[in-house]
Amino acid sequence: MLQESSVDSSGSRFAPLVVLELASDTKEEAIAWLLSRIRDWQQNGGAELLVEQLGPGIGVEEKENPNMFLVGASMQRLLCGAEDLGLFKECTDGSMRAFTFASKHNFKDFKGDGDGFLSMAECQYVIKHELDTLRAKEETNVPGYSHAKLYPGKSIIRRLLSKGILIQMFPLHENEELKRLSFSWYKKVKVSLQPLDDIRHYYGEGQALYFGFLEYFTFALVPMALIGVPYYLFDWEDYDKYVVFAVFNLIWCTVILELWKRRSASLAYYWGTLCRKKAFEEPRPGFHGVLGHNPVTGRAEPIYPTSKRHLRVYLVSLPFVLLCLYLSLYIMMIYFQMEGWALSIYDENPTFWTHILLFIPSIIYAVVIEAMNLIYRYAAEFLTEWENHRLESSYQNHLVLKVLVFNFFNCFASLFYIAFVMQDMELLRQSLATLLITSQILNQFMEAFLPYWLQRRRNKKMIRKIQKRRLYEEKELPLVEQVRLEADMSTYLGTFDDYLELFLLFGYVSLFSCVFPLAAVLVVLNNITEVYSDAFKMCRVFKRPFADPAANIGVWQLAFEAMSVIAVVTNCALIGMSPQVRSYFPESETQLILCTVAAEHVLLGFKFILTFLIQDVPKHIQDKLARLEFESLEALKKKLLEKSFPPKVIL
Amino acid sequence: MLQESSVDSSGSRFAPLVVLELASDTKEEAIAWLLSRIRDWQQNGGAELLVEQLGPGIGVEEKENPNMFLVGASMQRLLCGAEDLGLFKECTDGSMRAFTFASKHNFKDFKGDGDGFLSMAECQYVIKHELDTLRAKEETNVPGYSHAKLYPGKSIIRRLLSKGILIQMFPLHENEELKRLSFSWYKKVKVSLQPLDDIRHYYGEGQALYFGFLEYFTFALVPMALIGVPYYLFDWEDYDKYVVFAVFNLIWCTVILELWKRRSASLAYYWGTLCRKKAFEEPRPGFHGVLGHNPVTGRAEPIYPTSKRHLRVYLVSLPFVLLCLYLSLYIMMIYFQMEGWALSIYDENPTFWTHILLFIPSIIYAVVIEAMNLIYRYAAEFLTEWENHRLESSYQNHLVLKVLVFNFFNCFASLFYIAFVMQDMELLRQSLATLLITSQILNQFMEAFLPYWLQRRRNKKMIRKIQKRRLYEEKELPLVEQVRLEADMSTYLGTFDDYLELFLLFGYVSLFSCVFPLAAVLVVLNNITEVYSDAFKMCRVFKRPFADPAANIGVWQLAFEAMSVIAVVTNCALIGMSPQVRSYFPESETQLILCTVAAEHVLLGFKFILTFLIQDVPKHIQDKLARLEFESLEALKKKLLEKSFPPKVIL
C-alpha cells in the first residue's frame, strides 16, 4: 500500500510518510540531537521512528535546502501508536472498537503483519502525534541554540517550530491513490455522490466531514430550488406571494440542521471518531507565559492567568470588534448616501454618463467590503494570537467568532437595511442577485484557479529544469523531486474559509431567498462547482494536510444554528411586512406587529422544542454506543466477581 | 454505626438495612425460593445477602403480617457492591475516585474492615441495587404462582412487585443518627445553613440537592426582597417606577440559574456523583411488551416499538393536554365573566350582600383550579403510564412535562390575561398577592401538618396498644415494633411536588414581581418555613426513602430555564407597557412596540450568550476531572509501553 522508495544515502528501504524541513543553516549538533531523539527507544523517552535525510535533487545548481528528512516507522510501531491514540476501527462483527494490539485479529481487514490495516493518513497522523509528544528530558536548550530554551516535558517539535529551526512538517502525497481518488471524485463525468469514504481514507475525517456537509447542504437546497424555479417564472412580479416561500424557508432551515447532526453522527460513528477519547491537548506553539505546572498533567508548562486573557478579550478585542462593526455600518450608510446622490444627479440630467455614474457607488462599496474583510481578517488573527490562548481549539473558536460576526455584518447589513428600513423589495432582490453572482465568481476564481495557475507555472518550471539535465523516459518524478515539489506547494490552511463561504451562502438562502426564489438555484449551481474546485485544489494545488479526526463540524454547527434563528426572525418580519398579510389588518398596524411578534415567538419556541425532539444521534447508533458501554461495565463486573472471595458467614 | 439488633428467630446478629414485606398470604414455596435466591452465592446467580424473618410483635391480637424480612450484608459484600456500583469516595489526597476494593486503603476514612466507611444510606442503596439485579435463571414462573411468569434475566424483585406478591421494600431509619440530623436541621433555633452534607449522608444526593436548591433559591431571593421592601413602602402607588425592578428581574433570573449550575456541579463533585458512570437502566416495573431481546444488553426483555409509543404520545397525550389547556382557559374566561357580572350587580345596587358577592367568583375559581390540578395530575399519571415508557427516567420526564405545562397555564393564565389583555396593574397586584398568600398557607398545611397529624394519631394508638400489654421502662421501641411502625408510615413519593411548588414560586417572582415588589419577601418567608416543614416531614412523617445518586436537579433545571426565558419576554412586555416608557414615544405606538421587541430580542440573545460564557462547571473542578481522565489515559499508555516489544529494525 505504501509507496516503495529507494533512498540514495542508505541501502535500507522504508516507506517515508512525513517530511521534516529544517532551516538550511541549522547547526549540525542540533540535527544530530534531533535525529537521535527521534530514533531513540520509547523507554528512553524517544519516539522510536525511522528517519533519513533526503538525497540531493537534480537541479542542484539552485540553492536547495539539504536539511530535509523523511520520517517513517515500522508497521508494529504504527500499530502501537494507533492503540496509544485510541483509534477506532471496525471489528469483524461490524461494531466499531478502539484498536488494541492484543486483540488485533478481531479487527476487520487485519491480515498478516497488519500491512494495509491503517490508511496512510492514519499512519501519518500517528507519526505526527509521536513527533508532537516527543518531549525534552534534561536538556535546557536545543544544542547549538542557547535562546531555544527547553524544560523537562516541553514538546521538542513545537519549540523548534516556534524558534524557526523547523520550517515545516508535512505528510507526503501518495500518487497512485491520489490518482484513483481524483478520478472517482472530480474527473468522472457521470453524476454520482462524492466518494466520502475514500476522501476520509486519504485526507482524514475533518476534510471528509466538510465535503459531506457540502454535499448534504446541496441536496437540502434541491427542494427549495425546485420550488423556486416555478415561483420565479410565474410570480416574478407578484411580491404578495412570497409568504408561502418564507414559511417554507423557516421550517427548512431548522429541519435541515437537525438532520445534519444525525447524518454527521452517523458518518463519525462509521469513521470511528464519534466516541474516540481525545488525548490531552498540548498548548499551541505560540502560547507563552511564566513557567509553572499544569494543574491537570503536573508537567512543567507556561502558565498564563485566565483573568489576564479575559481582560484582553473583553477590554480590547470586544471593543475592537464593536468598533469595526460600527465602521462597517458607517461605510454602509455612506454607500446609501452616495447611491441617493448618484440617483438624484441621474434624475436631474439623465444622460449616458450619469447612467454609468449609477453603478459607481455599488462598485466602490463592493471593493471596500472586500478590502475591509481582508484587513479585518488579519486584525482578527493578530488579536486572537495576542489573546494568548493555551489551546488550538480555543484559538480557533475565538477567531471563528470574530471573523464570523464581522463577515455577517459586512455582507448582510446592507440587505437588512434595504429590507427593513427602506422596505424596497425590488432593490433587495437586485442587491441579493448581484451579491450572490459576483461573490460566486470571485470565490471560484480566487480559491481554485488562481492558486492552480501559480502552482502549474511552478511545476512546469521544475519539470523543464529536470528535463534540461536528463531525459526521463517514465512520466513519474523520482521521489526526491516529488518531495521537493511538494515542499514548495502552498500549505492548506484548513476548512475555515470553505465553511465561511458556505455559511454566507446559507445566510443568503435562508434569510432572503423568499424575495429572490432563484437564490437556491444559484447556490446549488455554486455548490456543484465548489465540489469540483475544492476537490481539485485539495488534490493538485496544496500540500497534503494532516488528518484531523473530527467527530463533527464543531463550532460551525453552532454558527449555522445561530443563522437559522436569525432566519426565523427575518422571515417572520418579511411575512409581517408583506402586502398579503397587511391586508388582513387594514385598520391597525399595532395589531399586525403584535400578531407577527407573537407568531415569531411561537415559532422560535417550536424550533427549540424541535431541537429537543429530534435526537442528535440516530437510535441504532445510540444502541451501538450503549452496547459498548454496557460491555465494558459487564467486563469490569466479571473481573470483580472473579477477584472477590466468598464472605465468611452465610445464613 | 449500624444499629445492633437481636432478632428472635435466629441466634446470629446482623445489622438489618432493608425491609421486604411480602403479602401475608404468600405461599411457603415462593418465600423459600426467594430467600434461597437472596442468600445464594453470586457465582450461582444469587445476591449473597443476609436475610431473616421479622419476629412477631407485641400487639399480636390484630392481624399482623408475618411475612416481613430484614435484609443485611457483610461489610465485605457491601464494599464489593459499592465497587460494582462505581461509587465515588474521597481519597487521602483529597480527590474523588471510584472506590475499588483493591485500593481501599487509599481512601479517606477507611479503617480496619471498613466499618463506617460507607454511610447507611449507601449500604441500603447497594442492597437495593443487588436485590433489583437479582435475576431469574431457568425458572419459568415464581414457584406457586403460575401467572407470575419469569424468563432468564428478568429481575425477580420487579416481577414480585408487579404481581403484588412483594408489597414493599424500604430502608430502615437509624434512630440515633436521625435524632442528631433533625436536631442540627430544624430543631436548633439559631440561624444557620442547612447541614447539607449530613442530609446527603442520611438521605442521599437527590434529597440533598433539593434542599441545596431550596437554600440557594432563598438566598438568591434576598437581594430582590431587600430592594422590594423600600419599593413597596415608598412607591406603592407609583406604577411608573416598576421599570427598574423589571430590568433587575430580567438579569436576576438569568444569572441565578447559571450560578446554580456551578454550585450544583460543585456539590455533586464533592458528593461523588458528578462523574459516576450510571449502570445500565432496567425497564421500569410497569413496562410491558412482547418478549424479545434488548439490542444493548442482549438479554431477554419485553420489547415495545418506539413508533407505537410515539403514536400514543403525539396522537393521544398531546391532544389531551391541549384539550385540558383549552378547558383551563375556558374556565378562566368564565371566571372573568362572573367577576364582571358580580361587579355590575354591585354597581347597580351596592349593599352588604352584593359586596360579599364580589368575592364569590374568586373563591369558586380558586377551588376549581385546585380541583382541576388534582384531576389533571391523576390523568397525567394514567396517560404517562399508558404510554408505556421503558425507563423510569423517561416516564418521569414525560410526567413532569405534562404536569408542568398544565400547572403553568392554570396558575399564570389569569395573571397574563389581567396584565396584557385587561392591562389592569392594580388588579394584577391584588391577584398576585392573593394567589401567593393563599397557595402558601394551603401548601404548608397540606404538605406537612396534615400528614404529621395523621401519623401522630397512628403512633399514639400503637404506643397505647403496647403499653396496654407491658410497661416499657425504656422510651425506645424495640426493633420489631420499630420496623412495623415504619412499614405503616406513608411512602415519600419523591421531590416532584416540592420542585413543582418552587417552580411556581419562581414563576410568581420572576414574571410579575415588578408590580408587586413584596412577592420576593413573601417567597423568602415561605421558603424558610418550607425548609422546616420539609425537613420535619422527611424526618418524622415518611418512611425513609432510598438514596438517589443524582448529579443535578435534572429536568427541573430545564424547566426553570424555560421559565426564565418566559420571564425575560414578560418583563420586556411589562416595561414596554409602563407609562414611563410610553412617554418616550408619545406619537407612535408602532415605534414603541418595535423598540420593545428589538430590546427583547437583544436581551434574549444576550441571555443565550451568557449561558455559553458562564461555564457550567467551575474551573477548579474541571481541572480535577481532567486530571482523573489524564491519569487513566497515562496509566493505559504505560501499560501499553510495557506490553510492546522493541521493533526489529532501527536505522
CB contact under 8 A, B641 and A12: no
Q: Which residue, among B558, B597, B610, B621, would best test binding to A if mutated, counting the most A CBs under 10 Å from its CB? A: B597
Q: Would you call A420 an interface residue with chain B, using a CB distance cutoff of 8 Å?
A: no
Q: Which residue, among B296, B589, B614, would best test binding to A if mutated, counting the most A CBs under 10 Å from its CB? A: B296
Q: Which residue has the cell 460513528?
A: A269
**Quick one: pLDDT at residue B570?**
92
CA distance A536 to A543: 12
How much is the average pLDDT of B37-51? 88
pLDDT band at A37; cut points 50, 70, 90? very high
Q: Which of B13, B142, B127 is nearest to B71 (CA)?
A: B127
CB contact under 8 A, B594 and A590: no
CA distance B405 to B412: 11
Residues B202-226: tens digit of each pLDDT: 999 999 999 999 999 999 999 888 8
ipTM confidence: 0.84
Packing angle, helices A205-234 and A242-270, rounded to 10: 160
Q: Would you call B647 an interface residue with chain A, using a CB distance cutoff of 8 Å?
A: yes
Q: Would you call A41 an interface residue with chain B, using a CB distance cutoff of 8 Å?
A: yes
Residues A155-198: tens digit of each pLDDT: 888 889 888 899 999 999 988 888 888 888 877 766 678 888 98
CB contact at 8 A, B518 and B232: yes
Residues in chain B within 8 Å Cβ distance of A640: 80, 83-84, 101
Of chain B, the percentage scoring pLDDT greater than 90 comes to 25
Name the 3-class secondary structure at A167: strand
Residues in chain B within 8 Å Cβ distance of A597: 593, 597
H helix runs in A422-518, sequence order: 425-444, 450-469, 479-488, 496-512
Give the E-state strand segments of B104-221 in sequence order. 141-142, 145-149, 166-171
Residues in chain A within 8 Å Cβ distance of B102: 643
**Quick one: pLDDT at residue B381?**
93
pLDDT band at A25; cut points 50, 70, 90? confident
For chain A, what is the radius of gyration of the CA atoms? 29
CB contact at 8 A, A147 and A162: no
Report domain extents, chain A: 18-172
pTM of the model: 0.87
CA distance A590 to A596: 10
Give the E-state strand segments of B120-220 in sequence order. 141-142, 145-149, 166-171
**Quick one: pLDDT at residue A1?**
33
**Quick one: pLDDT at residue A448?**
65
Counted residue by residue, chain A has a size of: 651
**Quick one: pLDDT at residue B477?**
65
CA distance A516 to A235: 11
Closest residue in chain B to residue A281, using alpha carbons only: B630
Q: Would you call B641 an interface residue with chain A, using a CB distance cutoff of 8 Å?
A: yes
pLDDT band at A83; cut points 50, 70, 90? confident
CA distance B265 to B268: 5
Closest residue in chain B to residue A598, using alpha carbons only: B597
Instruction: Please state, as a whole number, how many other Cβ atoms lie within 10 Å of the Cβ of residue A475.
Output: 5
Calculate the average pLDDT of chain B. Answer: 83
CB contact at 8 A, B152 and B138: yes
Q: What is the DSSP letter of B181?
A: H
HEC states along A82-93? HHHHCCEEEECC
A527: buried, middle or exposed (CB in 10 Å: 19+, 13-18, 0-12)? buried
Q: Which range has the worst mean pLDDT, A238-252, A492-506, A539-553, B368-382? A: A238-252
CA distance B47 to B38: 5
CB contact at 8 A, A551 and A209: no
A573 pLDDT more than 80: yes
Q: Which residue has the higher pLDDT, B366 or B543?
A: B543
Q: Would you call B11 an interface residue with chain A, using a CB distance cutoff of 8 Å?
A: no
Q: Which range has the worst mean pLDDT, A575-579, A641-645, B104-108? A: A641-645
CB contact under 8 A, A640 and B589: no
pLDDT band at A642; cut points 50, 70, 90? low
Instruction: Please state, as a whole number, how many other Cβ atoms lie within 10 Å of the Cβ of residue A165.
Output: 21
B358 pLDDT more than 80: no
CB contact under 8 A, B74 and A648: yes
CB contact at 8 A, A541 and A216: no
CA distance B651 to B639: 26
CB contact at 8 A, A403 and A376: yes
Instruction: Please state, as a whole number, how many other Cβ atoms lie within 10 Å of the Cβ of residue B437.
Output: 12
CA distance B571 to B506: 14
Q: Would you call B147 an interface residue with chain A, using a CB distance cutoff of 8 Å?
A: no
Residues A487-505: tens digit of each pLDDT: 888 888 888 888 998 999 9
Residues near B584 by beta carbon (within 8 Å), at least 6 away in sequence: B592
pLDDT band at B5; cut points 50, 70, 90? very low
Residues B233-249: tens digit of each pLDDT: 776 556 556 777 788 88
Residues in chain A within 8 Å Cβ distance of B84: 637, 640
Scanning A61-90 for CB atoms below 8 A from B yields: 73-74, 76-77, 80, 83-84
Residues near B437 by beta carbon (within 8 Å), at least 6 away in sequence: B522
**Quick one: pLDDT at residue A562?**
93
Element (H, E) at B89: strand B88-90
Cell numbers standing for residue B398: 414525560
Residues in chain B within 8 Å Cβ distance of A644: 42, 76, 80, 101
Looking at the DSSP bridge assignments, the partners of residue B460 are: none
B76: nearest CB among A297, A597, A647: A647
Q: Which residue has the higher pLDDT, A582 or A123?
A: A123
Residues in chain B within 8 Å Cβ distance of A297: 627, 630
Residues A517-528: tens digit of each pLDDT: 888 898 998 888
B651: nearest CB among A50, A80, A633: A50
CB contact at 8 A, A520 and A228: yes
How much is the average pLDDT of B546-569? 90
Q: Would you call B277 an interface residue with chain A, using a CB distance cutoff of 8 Å?
A: yes
Q: Would you call B281 an interface residue with chain A, using a CB distance cutoff of 8 Å?
A: no
B647: nearest CB among A76, A593, A627: A76
Residues in chain A within 8 Å Cβ distance of B48: 646-647, 650
Residues in chain A within 8 Å Cβ distance of B126: none
CB contact at 8 A, A566 and A415: no
CA distance A470 to A464: 10
CB contact under 8 A, B83 and A12: no
Instruction: Please state, as a whole number, how many other Cβ atoms lie within 10 Å of the Cβ of residue B201.
Output: 18
B627: nearest CB among A73, A74, A296: A296
DSSP string, B404-442: HHHHHHHHHHHHHIIIIII--HHHHHHHHHHHHHHHHHH
B80: nearest CB among A77, A83, A640: A640
Residues in chain A within 8 Å Cβ distance of B317: none
Q: Which residue has the cell 442577485?
A: A433
Half-sphere exposure of A475 (CA within 13 A, CB side): 1
A587 pLDDT more than 50: yes
**Quick one: pLDDT at residue A310?**
93
Residues B626-647: tens digit of each pLDDT: 888 888 777 777 776 665 544 4
Q: Which of B206, B207, B212, B176 is nearest to B194 (CA)?
A: B212
CB contact at 8 A, B512 and B89: no
CB contact under 8 A, B630 and A77: no
Instruction: Please state, as a whole number, how many other Cβ atoms lie within 10 Å of the Cβ of residue A4.
Output: 8
Looking at the DSSP bridge assignments, the partners of residue B97 are: B89
B648 pLDDT more than 60: no
A640: nearest CB among B83, B590, B648: B83
Closest residue in chain B to residue A589, using alpha carbons only: B590
Q: What Å distances lie between residue B605 and A128, A312, A415, B500, B568, CA to CA?
A: 41, 23, 21, 28, 11
A640: nearest CB among B73, B84, B296: B84
CA distance B287 to B285: 6
Distance from the Cα of B601 to chain A's closest Cα (Å) equals 9
Instruction: Please state, as a whole number, how many other Cβ atoms lie within 10 Å of the Cβ of residue B522.
Output: 22
